[in-house]
């Protein structure tokens, strides 16, 4: 969520909340659109690429640490401005049809994600955080207190929704119960807190960034927040492994002539090791079992999306991303690792693209292993 938002009047807030609830209660009032997918062969590899949304308007994926695809891989959650302002949308990955899921104002960038049970999604809009369960009325589950403003980032874990508020004296990290009840302050800091990431299988524990002081872990019972001792350099795009035991992150070395690398850190032991050096990845994603990574290169001469095999460190070029900001190229594997989705503004406004990986990556769906 952006740090600065205009204040709403009480009348304006009530109007928007009621309009959003009414739209969610009657899905027929929200528009749907036929597939606009377009296929092309990538000029650098001749591999098939599918542009899923029209770059005539902006379409953006949730934050890299959020959840955009349910476990069954049926659809993709994203934000689109095709109806005039950014709204939550759902893209059917079989038919390509898109459907608007809510009608709201001031949808916050990076504050959109599926709930852990895949039954709904959360999003930030203006000064409010909403929970929408598919097929039911959405509801406001938190409103930023007077004197505070929404901070950057939001994610949902088993313990609730993690979000940030900023004020004159600093920031605070909150945990908002999805079932109702008061938000709990997890940590307060004079530094600017951002991008909270709940730890899987560790209820209440959260990773977050604090100013220029690196990454911190908070929420452990009877333990104060602590800074993680990561490798020297600048840690970027940190994501939890699916079991929550370790943290995968991209590090930019202090020496700019050195290669960017993916590393793995175990918070419970402090162990930290190199996974692989990369072709200057500026953003990355891991598949379901972290055996394969996808990355967007920051190399201006080779603005590519690449596939990296963990076991060997070998890379394969998939396609050009040609994004104006490689760090903003959000990448997402499907749950079975057979497709890759990414966002790029290569054609003007951000659009969502897809590639098939079935000939390159093993199927990681549980039934595939039987």
292-305 burial: b if 16+ Cβ within 10 Å, else e = bbbbbbbeeeebbb
**What is the average pLDDT across 56-82?**
97
Digit-coded pLDDT (tens) for 192-205: 999 999 999 998 89
- pLDDT band for 278, please (50, 70, 90 cuts): very high
pLDDT at 140 over 70: yes
The average confidence (pLDDT) of the chain is 91
- pLDDT band for 370, please (50, 70, 90 cuts): low
State the total domains in the chain.
1
Establish if 148 belongs to a structural domain.
Answer: yes
Residue 1: CA atoms inside 13 Å, Cβ hemisphere, count? 32
Percent helix, percent strand, percent coil in the chain, to nearest 5: 5, 45, 50
Provide the terminal-to-terminal Cα distance of the chain, rounded to the nearest Å: 42
pLDDT at 25 over 60: no
Establish if 127 belongs to a structural domain.
Answer: yes
Residue 93: which of 78, 79, 74, 77 has the closest Cα? 74
What's the whole-model pTM score? 0.90
Q: Is the four-CA dihedral 354, 356, 361, 366 of positive or negative sign? A: positive
53-62, 121-130, 146-155, 360-369: least confidently modelled range: 360-369
Percentage with pLDDT > 70 across the chain:
91
Percentage with pLDDT > 90 across the chain:
83
Q: How many CB atoms lie within 10 A of CB 19?
A: 14
Establish if 2 belongs to a structural domain.
Answer: yes
Asked if 77 and 90 touch (Cβ cutoff 8 Å), the reply is: yes
| d(C-alpha 142, C-alpha 131), whole Å | 9
pLDDT of 79 reads 98
| d(C-alpha 277, C-alpha 257), whole Å | 13
100-127 burial: b if 16+ Cβ within 10 Å, else e = bbbbbbbbbebbbbbbeeeebbbbbbbb
66-70, 135-139, 157-161, 246-250: least confidently modelled range: 135-139
pLDDT at 3 over 80: no
pLDDT of 29 reads 85
pLDDT at 343 over 60: yes
21-30, 74-83, 232-241, 298-307: least confidently modelled range: 21-30
Tell me phi and psi for residue 306, to 5 degrees. -125, 155
Establish if 49 belongs to a structural domain.
Answer: no
pLDDT of 213 reads 87
**What is the average pLDDT across 298-309?**
96
Digit-coded pLDDT (tens) for 184-233: 999 999 999 999 999 999 988 999 999 888 999 998 775 889 999 999 99
Q: Is 201 left (phi over 0), alpha (psi -120 to 50) or beta?
A: left
Q: Which domain CATH number covers 10? A: 2.130.10.10
2-11, 76-85, 94-103, 190-199: least confidently modelled range: 2-11
**What is the average pLDDT across 30-47?**
97
| d(C-alpha 320, C-alpha 331), whole Å | 13
Owning domain of residue 208:
1-30+63-227
Establish if 141 belongs to a structural domain.
Answer: yes
| d(C-alpha 45, C-alpha 102), whole Å | 39
- Which residue do the tokens 């598919």 mark? 134
Establish if 182 belongs to a structural domain.
Answer: yes
pLDDT at 2 over 60: no
- Which residue do the tokens 């993709």 mark? 76
pLDDT of 199 reads 96
Residue 350: which of 99, 58, 5 has the closest Cα? 58
């Amino acid at each position: 969520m952006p740090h600065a938002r205009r204040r709403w009047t009480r009348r304006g807030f009530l109007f928007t909340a009621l309009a959003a609830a009414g739209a969610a209660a009657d899905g027929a009032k929200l528009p749907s659109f036929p597939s606009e997918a377009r296929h092309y062969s990538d000029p650098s590899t001749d591999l098939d690429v599918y542009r899923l949304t029209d770059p005539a308007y902006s379409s953006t994926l949730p934050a890299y640490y959020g959840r955009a695809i349910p476990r069954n891989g049926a659809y993709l959650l994203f934000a689109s401005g095709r109806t005039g302002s950014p709204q939550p949308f759902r893209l059917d990955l079989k038919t390509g049809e898109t459907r608007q899921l809510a009608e709201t104002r001031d949808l916050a960038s990076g504050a959109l994600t599926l709930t852990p049970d895949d039954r709904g999604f959360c999003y930030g809009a203006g000064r409010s955080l909403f929970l929408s369960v598919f097929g039911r009325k959405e509801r406001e589950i938190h409103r930023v207190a007077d004197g505070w403003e929404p901070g950057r980032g939001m994610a949902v874990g088993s313990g609730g929704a993690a979000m940030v508020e900023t004020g004159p004296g600093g920031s605070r990290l909150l945990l908002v119960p999805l079932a109702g009840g008061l938000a709990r302050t997890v940590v307060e800091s004079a530094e600017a807190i951002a991008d909270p990431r709940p730890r899987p299988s560790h209820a209440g524990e959260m990773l977050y960034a604090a100013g220029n002081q690196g990454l911190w872990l908070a929420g452990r019972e009877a333990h104060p927040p602590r800074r993680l001792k990561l490798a020297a350099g600048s840690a970027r795009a940190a994501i939890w492994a699916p079991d929550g035991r370790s943290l995968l992150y991209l590090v930019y070395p202090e020496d700019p002539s050195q290669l960017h690398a993916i590393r793995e850190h175990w918070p419970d032991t402090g162990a930290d090791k190199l996974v692989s050096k990369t072709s200057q990845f500026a953003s990355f994603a891991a598949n379901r079992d972290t055996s394969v990574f996808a990355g967007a290169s920051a190399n201006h001469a080779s603005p590519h999306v690449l596939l990296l095999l963990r076991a060997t460190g070998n890379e394969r070029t998939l396609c050009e991303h040609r994004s104006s900001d490689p760090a903003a190229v959000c990448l997402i594997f499907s749950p079975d690792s057979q497709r890759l989705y990414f966002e790029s503004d290569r054609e003007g406004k951000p659009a969502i693209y897809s590639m098939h990986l079935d000939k390159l990556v093993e199927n990681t769906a549980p039934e595939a292993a039987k």
